[in-house]
Structure 1
Amino acid sequence: MPRYLRVLAPAILLAATLAFLLLGLHIGEAAAPRALADPGAVVRYGLPISRTLVNVSIAVLIGSVLMSVWALASEKAETRAAMDLAAAAAAVLTVAVGATIIFTYVDVSGLPFSGDPMFGAGLAQFVTEIELGQLWMYELLLAAVTTVLAFAIRGRRATLIVLVAALLTTLPLAQQGHAAGASGHSQAVNSLLVHLVGAAVWLGGLITLAFIARTVDRPRLAVITARYSSLALLAFIGVAASGIVSAWLRIGTWDALVNTGYGQLVLWKTGALVVLGLFGALQRTRVIARIGAEAKGGRMFTWFVLAELAVMGVASGIAGALGRTATPVALEPARDQGDGISPAEWLTGDPLPPELTPLSYLTEWKFDLAWALVCAFALGLYLAAAIRLARRGDKWPVGRLIAWVIGIALLFYTTNGPFNAYEQYLFSVHMLGHMMLTMLIPLVLVLGAPVTLALRATHKRDDGSWGGREWIMWAVHSPYSKVVTHPAVAAVVFAGSLWVFYFTPIFRWAMSEHLGHQWMIIHFLISGYLFALSMIGIDPVPYRFPFALRIVTLFATMASHAFFGVTIMTGNGLMLADWFGAMGRTWGATPLDDQEAGGGIAWGIGELPTLALALIVAVQWARSDKKEQKRSDRAADRSGDAELNAYNEMLAKQASRDSKVTR
């Protein structure tokens, strides 16, 4: 590969990004002087530049660490180069965030930058008391921690820590993208989070390819590029879907798409995305095969990467301008829109949904892009693995496939359907969704045996890198897995989470904060899955209870659930009274009656999946006994009942001795 690629690739990316950032600021009039409290040209241009530099450095950071974890050999120069790039990107991120904090404070306060103590005091107040400043402060702390980790860590498994820290840097940025309490806040935040992570994998992975090209030969580069291409395809789907959702939430009408500066920038970015999609298709169908096979493959790779990075720079620059351009749909919190809003809208940011009827469970939906993509990818990858087995002549049980499809369908329905639309307003609906997430959905998903399928369908790597099979094997046999999959631990977490969640401040956090709500979904889904896995799972785990002890464990958890449900049903006080009791509903049961119904759901309906677990354990126990009996019969047939004959002979000798003694 050319020596200049490491320098030319980031130079082209930054040049294209800066050029189209300035063009986008002109189109959207985001850098025009303000009539009131104008912060000056330095801030009007410096803030979007530093903010765009934050986005690009996060992309390089995440992309390079992910490539190290997934595509590169741990002990080779390629990984060292990628991690050096990650450390540099993290350092740049930290500096860019620090500059952005100062520019943002000057922009929102209207005070000129100075070394005066009053300026420093105001800045300190901004990052400690104002939500926007607090989010940027969190970003700065995360960036600094990630920088230290990226410089200090080089081991394969420990690199996962760097990857997690790098991904966490996207959370404060996603929270800033849509005003808390504004309509559609949760959908917008999740869409922006998907967009940030997808763009980071796509852009950062390509920069990593350019950076490590000098450390590998062309055949090896073709292999790494193919692995990157698979990640880029998933990233493209996420970026495209999230871009559509995010843009529509901010534009609202087709007229605004064409006749506003924001809409025109969206069209520019859409064009760049289409071109990048064509680049990806060309890369997968033509370029990868020619990199290692042709003498000019290295030159083709170089020009292809540079051209694609130029287009990515266009998209990044336009994205930076979009972040500073006024949106056709105002993103103001509901609480700032006057006295004409309902109590429910003041609390949640969204209007109170229509009265809940049996038909509402089919007609009322509140889509969540992040969970919709999780379901789509989980279903698509599972089907792809099953098809791969079928093509090589192996069979995958149809029952397991059906179980997985049903489980994913239920997960999509729970996270995007009426439960998501009503759970903030009705405790009973919230509890019903909770029972789905922690009891029914995990039970069905476990029967799909996804780990077993993945191990059978993925290929073992022999080049020093770790792919899906290697990471799954490590996860299954890790000490952490031995703890969390132990039946006793899984049962305690499964049953105890109910009490800890609903009778501590965690419940309020999950209801009022977007991050808390997402944590609730993930936690209860995983805790339910681990418990079901320890009871009836087909996938390998380090240890399972004997069948009799599993039945005892299940009945113990049923008792705990029943006691929990009765406690809620018989409670005299309203849980989160200033939330569920302050929605201003004029339909449905009173909040206290609705809470009692929620307790009944936890007690009655919630026990049905546990009873199903007990029945499945009983069936597995019976089948295990039958298998053991058949094994014993086959062993007896092979040995001519040698064990039985020996046992009978021993009894005969004992009887003979006893008869002699009695004589």
Structure 2
Amino acid sequence: MLGHHMHHSNEQLIDYFELIFMLLLFTSSVVTYLLAVKKSNRHYKKWPRKRTILWLSGVLITASVFIGPLAERAHTDFRAHMLGHLLIGMLAPLLLALSAPWTLLMRTLPVKLARQISRFLKSQPVLILSNPLTASILSVGGLWVLYTTDLYRLMQQNSILHVLIHVHVLLAGYLFTVSFIYVDPTPHRTSYVYRMIVFIMASAGHGILSKYIYTHAPTHVLKSEAESGGMLMYYGGDAIELILITLFCYQWYRASRPRILNITKPSIT
């Protein structure tokens, strides 16, 4: 009985420190971005307000998954958990990517430090990680591991593991997004055709997993919740993927338009 009470007290202490840490992390990310915008506006063309709104929205959505009512409910309700993973694995990464944080960062850093970061972004490890195929494996493949093994049950029983998996989903989702649509300067660019092929494969993998969850509930998840969660993953994922593919096609159109104009332009000689 005493051991159970001590274990419960330790869990509460971990949750308390987790809450404080997350609040500090999210607050600092907002303040840092706003200060960077202020500094950038003093030396460059005014930073687009829409990008600031996108960043604030992305941080707010991310925070709602880690702390607050949705985060609490996700511990006991698979549908809330799946909503949270859609938010931090797909929607928040898209909003954060569109806010162009790396461009803003490079504007505000000292020249020497900016050059060091630029060299790092051109390095071999970043080349491998930023490849759309690698990003897809980390993002979609990670979800397959989570929902087809005992990992989902374990994350609900361990606060630290719970946070680590959420962080992985967020970072993998961001890496997946920026490997397909280029908002910030990207040293390692791949062709539109290659990205489209990998995107179709990743989308298919995501859709198949959602159907698998619908028919094979993860450990300790009610069948009705698994069915609702699977449907949410399928249709919610499709909606966010539609936004992503629209942006991708728009970029492709803009990139190919000058070549089309050059081909069709009549010669004056």
After the TM superposition, which residues 524-535 of structure 1 pair with which residues of structure 2 at under 5 Å, given as runs?
A: 524-535=169-180
User: Which portions of structure 1, spanning 4 or more consecutive aligned residues, are displaced by more than 4 angstroms?
Assistant: 627-630
Please tell me the residue identity of whatever aligns with 1:540: P
AA aligned opposite 2:81: H
Equivalents in 1 of 2:129, 2:13: separation in Å? 34
1:452 aligns with 2:103: yes
In 2, distance between residues paired with 1:396 and 1:509? 44
Amino acid at match of 1:418: P
Match of 2:255?
Answer: 624
SS in 2 for 1:396: coil
Shift of 1:612: 1.0
Q: 2:8 aligns with which of 176, 181, 195?
A: 181
Residues 24-48 of structure 1: per-residue CA shift (max 9 Å, x gap): xxxxxxxxxxxxxxxxxxxxxxxxx
Kindly state the Cα deviation for residue 556 of structure 1 after the two structures are TM-superposed: 2.0
Normalised by the length of structure 2, the TM-score is 0.89
Residues 485/594 of structure 1: CA separation in 2 closer, same or farther (3 Å cut): same
Q: Counterparts of 2:131 and 2:218 in 1: how far apart (Å)?
A: 33
Contact 1:535 1:544 in 2 (8 A): no
Contact 1:449 1:537 in 2 (8 A): no
Q: Counterparts in 2 of 1:243-642, with a 5 A limit?
A: 368-461=19-112, 467=113, 469-571=114-216, 574-577=217-220, 580=221, 591-628=222-259, 632=262
What are the residue-to-residue correspondences of 1:60-209 with 2, within 5 Å?
180-182=7-9, 184-190=12-18
Paired residues of 1:482 and 1:541 also in contact (CA < 8 A): no
When residues 555 and 396 of structure 1 are mapped into structure 2, their CA distance, relative to the original with a 3 A threshold, is same
Task: Specify the structure having the higher radius of gyration (Cα).
Answer: 1
Provide the C-alpha distance between the structure 2 equivalents of 1:521 and 1:415, rounded to a whole number of angstroms.
8
Counterpart residue type for residue 389 of structure 1: S
Which ranges in structure 1 are unaligned for 5 or more consecutive residues?
Answer: 1-129, 131-177, 191-367, 462-466, 581-590, 647-663
Question: Under a length normalisation based on structure 1, what TM-score does the superposition of the two structures give?
Answer: 0.38
User: Aligned equivalents of 2:46 and 2:110: distance in 1?
Assistant: 17
**Is residue 554–residue 610 contact of structure 1 (8 Å, CA) maintained in 2?**
no
Deviations 1:109-148 (A, max 9, x none): xxxxxxxxxxxxxxxxxxxxx9xxxxxxxxxxxxxxxxxx
User: CA separation in 2, counterparts of 1:458 and 1:416?
Assistant: 31
Q: Pick closer, same or farther for the CA change 1:598–1:389 going to 2, 3 Å.
A: same
The equivalent of 1:206 in structure 2 is none
Q: 2 CA distance for matches of 1:482 and 1:545?
A: 10
Deviation at 1:507, TM superposition (A): 2.1
C-alpha contact (below 8 Å) 2:122/2:188 kept by paired residues: no
Task: Give ranges in structure 2 of 5+ residues lacking alignment.
Answer: none
> Quick one: structure 1 residues 627 and 645, their matched pair in 2 at CA, closer, same or farther if it must change by over 3 Å?
closer
Task: Tell me the SS of whatever aligns to 1:184.
Answer: helix
- 8 Å Cα contact 2:122-2:187 kept in structure 1: yes
Cα contact 2:75–2:156 (8 A) shared by 1 = yes
Shift of 1:413: 1.8
Cα 1:616/1:512, change in 2 over 3 Å: same
Measure the CA separation in 2 of the matches of 1:576 and 1:388.
Answer: 50
The answer to which structure, 1 or 2, has the higher relative contact order (CA under 8 A, 6+ apart) is: 2
Q: Aligned equivalents of 1:628 and 1:384: distance in 2?
A: 40
Cα deviations by residue, 1:586-618 (Å, 9 ceiling, x for unpaired): xxxxx2211211111111112211111101101
Distance 1:419 1:470 in 2: 41
Note the C-alpha offset of 1:481: 0.7
Report how far residue 430 of structure 1 moved.
Answer: 0.7
SS of 2:111's partner is coil
Amino acid at match of 1:444: L
The offset of 1:549, in angstroms, is 3.1
- Alpha-carbon shift at residue 629 of structure 1 (Å): 5.2
Match of 2:179, SS state, is helix
Contact 1:561 1:607 in 2 (8 A): no
- Mapped contact 1:485–1:541 kept (Cα < 8 A): no
Contact kept? 2:150, 2:219, Cα under 8 Å = no
The code of the aligned residue for 2:256 comes to D
CA shift for structure 1 position 459:
1.4
Q: Give 1 or 2: higher helix fraction.
A: 2
Paired with 1:627 and 1:179, the residues of 2 have a C-alpha distance of 68
Residue 473 of structure 1 and its aligned partner are, at CA, apart by 2.2
Root-mean-square deviation (CA, aligned residues, Å) is 2.5
